[in-house]
Chain A
Amino acid sequence: SYCLFSREKKRRRLEDLTEKMAVDSGHMDSDCDWDGRWNHVKKFLERPGPFTHPDFEPSTESLQFLLETCKILVIGAGGLGCELLKNLALSGFRLIHVVDMDTIDVSNLNRQFLFRPKDVGRPKADVAADFINSRISGCKVVPHFKKIQDFDDSFYRQFHIIVCGLDSIIARRWINGMLISLLSYEDGVLDPSSIIPLIDGGTEGFKGNARVILPGMTACIDCTLELYPPQVINFPMCTIATMPRLPEHCVEYARILQWAKERPFGGFLDGDNPEHIQWVFEKSQERAAEFNITGVTYRLTQAACATEVFKIATSAYIPLNNYMVFNDVDGLYTYTFEAERKENCTACSQVPQDLQFPPSAKLQEVLEYLTETASLQMKSPAITTTLEGKNKTLYLQSVKSIEERTRPNLCKTLKELGLSDGQEIAVADVTTPQTVLFKINFTA
């Protein structure tokens, strides 16, 4: 009955949308859609597959649907976002939503061309939408000055395609997880109409890549997590100066901006001097407290002080997937390839993950496994489990009082904590909107 309901919901949604289809075709006159202009799209729509809705008749109306009813979500209104909005609007898409939590900084103006100097300080989503709406007639961009995490599934369900121009792996994993959570299965078979394609792009310096993800069908972000290079602690100055989100941002603020301004010990920061590091650590903590960010540790501060390189945060794959690669002296080429789905992917495989630990292992070791394993790369996992029928938090970092209360558990062994062989633990983290289940198997 759930399946019928969800299909009916989809059918009704489609009817709704078709009814609202604008009578005024504006600049989308039929004489601009010459024979063959949308052949590629037609082929796509006429082929039976995940995008052929049961109530959908392939015809010229499919085209109208695509151009006048298709709702696209653009995540990020920065470098990629501006380009994406421009390309989509020029290609004829009219119903576009854009989400971005940032405001405009002067250093954005060299590439985020929808913004002018007078816009500095204003939300990117708002300014981008204004620009497109007032210059491309018929196009309706709806801005959202929000974090992607501020929306729930009901928001994301309304879109036919989601395109990302994000600047963090965490955010990518989150939206990836969200779209996977929207998938519905009937007797173990994936319902194709529940798939929302995710088109993800990233750039770093002169390099960039783009990929298409069909959640539940093709490789997802987590399937290929190992392709991302380790996230070095270096972030854009605009984020550090005005909109910190991570403990690393706070440390960089203290290390770079405050140090330069206050020069507490006269000269340059010495990464080997404990007094210097202590100063940076304390300033970082103050900044973190101001923005309600947890996770600033002495160890993190020390690591940041030791590195001298200041690179831009990485959002691109290492060598693969539409990536410019040197091919001998004579050529550079881009190539496309299909990433393979990972069999036991934590995000999209629906298979509970098995962990092996001796009963004498401390909870700290489990925590380290979750954060340091390349295929998981969690940021600050919260671990809960069910003991004696009751839900118990083993460790949680993001709420100060709970962190203090559960911190002693880190030094306790799994046996001491009351876990048994085959025990399931639920792990929540910023990298995923849903908790991930793990099964702990005791080794000898």
Chain B
Amino acid sequence: MIEKEDPVISEEEAAQYDRQIRLWGLDAQKRLRGSRVLLAGVGGLGAELAKNLILAGVKGLTLLDHKQVSEESCRAQFLIPVSAQGQNRAQASLERAQNLNPMVEVHADSDRVEDKPDDFFLQFDAVCLTGCSRDLMVRVDQLCSQHNIKVFCGDVYGYYGYTFCNLGQEHNYVEEKPKVVKPSSDSSDGPEAKKAKVDPNETTMVKKTASFCTLKAALEVDWTSEKAKASLKRTPVDYFLLHVLLKFRTDKGRDPDPKACAEDSRLLKQIRDDVLEAMGLSGDLLADDFISYCFSEMSPVCAVVGGVLGQEVVKALSQRDAPHRNFFFFDGRKGNGMVDYFGPN
């Protein structure tokens, strides 16, 4: 991580960022102002995340994507113009992304994430991985967390989406809490005066620490133990759905494709059976109906997941407010969101 000079907020920035500064304070804005972020994958979710971070006013955002613009890319996200077919996705997204906020340094990089050397990642304060294979995410997560770089992962599959974060073993942050006014010790006042009161107008910053595990540990939970089996009832099935979709991506080198709907549906079913069996769990855990709802990136789902992920990145970089620990799952069919922890205690 590069040493940061204390960033100065200009008058122009103060005017533009007024509404968010009111929310998270000037200190937080300064930290954002000094942060460099890497975003791998500029699909539907990536575009939303890019928009949110650029609008928030980070120092720099690098868009990394080796894929070419397809007909579907133009419809999945709003940064790529219809005329850009055949171009690289990151390059095609650059102009509109930069226009969102000229005060942010936006770069486009058309290399494959897999081909980047280790020290490429070290220039960033936060790394966000979308559309990446499980192995790649595990490798990058391991590397970055060793160097105190915040790691975020996220994907959208049809109506479903998730985010994951690893902020390191010791992530320090502050929370703004209302001040508790100590009761007066004067015994001549009535019992009312002896109660500690909360002063709504006065707040104080409380320091906290949270600990995160690696993606590898989070994904490799052992479900055969008695304790794990007992907690199964409270476990969101989205976690297992994620395993299925990541396995599909590894096996096919792509996500479920509408054009190959019948074949991919059969494969998803098979993978679901295999994955759950390998975990020592029943196939009934994840019912069949997910299959018809996990194709393509649905725009509103990208907006929701991109919004949550964007806010997690902002919180982590500004070191303010409690982070989601460590997964967020969104089910667009039910309109439900769930935060849950997976990994060693």
Contact across chains for B99 and A32 when beta carbons are under 8 A apart: no
Q: Which of the 9-residue segments A33-41, A274-282, A294-302 touches chain B?
A: A33-41
Interface bits B157-170 vs A (CB < 8 Å: 1, else 0): 00000000000000
Contact across chains for A32 and B75 when beta carbons are under 8 A apart: yes
Q: Is A423 engaged at the interface, CB distance under 8 Å to the other chain? A: no
**Given the interface contacts A34-B295, A90-B75, A91-B299, does A312 sit within 8 Å of B22 by beta carbon?**
yes
Quote the shortest CB–CB distance from A128 to chain B (angstroms): 13
* Inter-chain contacts of A34 with B (CB < 8 A): 258-259, 261, 295
Contact across chains for B15 and A330 when beta carbons are under 8 A apart: no
Q: Which of the 9-residue segments B147-155, B183-191, B241-249, B330-338 touches chain A?
A: B330-338
Contact across chains for B16 and A332 when beta carbons are under 8 A apart: no
Q: Is B233 engaged at the interface, CB distance under 8 Å to the other chain? A: no
Name A's interface SS. loop
Among A83, A109, A310, the most chain B Cβ lie within 10 Å of the Cβ of A109
Q: Which residue of B lies closest to A210 (CB)?
A: B335
**Given the interface contacts A34-B258, A107-B19, does A331 sit within 8 Å of B292 by beta carbon?**
no
Assembled-state Cα–Cα distance A32/B75 (Å): 10
Specify which of B15, B201, B324, B337 is in contact with A107 (CB 8 Å cutoff): B15
Q: Is B253 engaged at the interface, CB distance under 8 Å to the other chain? A: no
Interface bits A357-385 vs B (CB < 8 Å: 1, else 0): 00000000000000000000000000000
Q: Is A168 engaged at the interface, CB distance under 8 Å to the other chain? A: no
Could you tell me how many residues of chain B have their Cβ less than 8 Å away from some Cβ of chain A? 48
Contact across chains for A36 and B292 when beta carbons are under 8 A apart: yes
Q: Which of the 9-residue segments A110-118, A177-185, A434-442 touches chain B?
A: A110-118
Interface residues on A, range: 35 or more
Q: Is A137 engaged at the interface, CB distance under 8 Å to the other chain? A: yes
Assembled-state Cα–Cα distance A248/B273 (Å): 62
Q: Is A392 engaged at the interface, CB distance under 8 Å to the other chain? A: no
**Given the interface contacts A34-B295, A332-B324, A336-B334, does A312 sit within 8 Å of B19 by beta carbon?**
yes
Contact across chains for A334 and B303 when beta carbons are under 8 A apart: no
Q: Is A135 engaged at the interface, CB distance under 8 Å to the other chain? A: yes
* Inter-chain contacts of A332 with B (CB < 8 A): 324, 339
Contact across chains for B18 and A336 when beta carbons are under 8 A apart: no
Contact across chains for B303 and A87 when beta carbons are under 8 A apart: yes
Contact across chains for B258 and A37 when beta carbons are under 8 A apart: yes
Q: Is B17 engaged at the interface, CB distance under 8 Å to the other chain? A: yes
Chain A contacts to B: CB under 8 angstroms? 27, 31-32, 34-37, 39-40, 83, 86-87, 89-91, 106-107, 109-111, 113, 116, 135-137, 205-206, 236-237, 308-310, 312, 322, 324, 330-336
Contact sample, A vs B, 28 pairs, CB 8 Å cutoff: A27-B82, A34-B261, A35-B258, A36-B261, A36-B295, A37-B296, A40-B293, A90-B78, A91-B299, A106-B15, A111-B19, A111-B20, A111-B55, A113-B100, A116-B99, A135-B81, A136-B78, A237-B18, A308-B201, A310-B22, A322-B335, A330-B325, A332-B324, A332-B339, A333-B336, A333-B337, A334-B335, A334-B338
The 3 nearest A-B residue pairs measured at CB: A34-B258, A90-B299, A334-B337
